[in-house]
Amino acid sequence: MPLFPPLNPPVSGWSGQRVWILGASSGIGAETARLLGQRGARLALSARREAALADLRSGLPPAARQAAHVLPCDIADPAAVAAAARTLFEAWDGLDLVLVAAGVYDALRPQDLDAQTLPRVRHTLDTNLLGAYHVLAAVLPEFLRRGAGRLAFVSSVAGYNGLPRALAYAPSKAALNNLCEGLHLELRPLGIGVTRICPGFVATPMTAGLDVPMPALQTPAAAARAIVRGLEGGDFEIHFPRRFTYGLKVLQWLPRRLYFRLLRWAAPR
């Protein structure tokens, strides 16, 4: 018996598991879909770009491809998310895992903040934070009725501390990290698992345009393996690569005077 039991029920196998991935058109979401498809999961794929989802489905193993649902929707649109969820509950009579991998990054700095850039802030919050609430509103009533289900949210290590060039992105992820903790405390006794996923730098379309150092850069395939391994183990928090993320966790405990000094030294001007 382990000294510390898992905080969520472990996943013993993926065959037949009903998995809805939002943000499946590229990056971490797409690679996780491919990996779970190889392991026998039944997949529902959602994102804004229907053509990219169709391409993803066409590359799945035959059994997974035949069973997969393509449900285009924008996570920032609560009505579209609710409609997709209804379609899945009707088709599958339930869901076992909802993985929210949709997200956007906008390199906002103090000089950028004015009345004209507020729509950019809203777009980040609508996608990265309110999108999670849209999913919760669509699936939680059914999960609570059944007393089962698993929710997983791709957040970021950017949510651990305040960061430069991330005045909308980092707060959105900090709030998402906090939300996951509150959800876990309330839902785990009711039979519903909650996992937050905090990657470091991953080579995705979102990071392709960054002009900052990206230490310990991971491939999306490596990220997907870490996520699936963590879900199988019943982890509450999945963070990777650990040689990078443990250092960021240590920074959380530093006095802000020392933290700010380190960031000013390390952050690009």
From the list 166, 79, 86, 87, the residue with the least C-alpha distance to 131 is 79
Return d(Cα 73, Cα 90) in angstroms, integer.
Answer: 17
CA nearest to 95, candidates 25, 29, 28, 21? 21
- Beta pairing partners, 22: 46, 100
SS3 174: helix
| CA separation for the pair 152, 154 (Å, rounded) | 7
DSSP assignment of 93-141 equals SS-SEEEE---------GGG-STTTHHHHHHHHIIIIIHHHHHHHHHHH
Residue 15, classed as helix, strand or coil, is: coil
Distance CA 7, CA 228 (A): 15
E strand or H helix that includes residue 225: helix 220-233
- Residue 16, SS3 per DSSP: coil
Amino acid 240 reads F
Residues designated catalytic: 169
DSSP state of 267: S
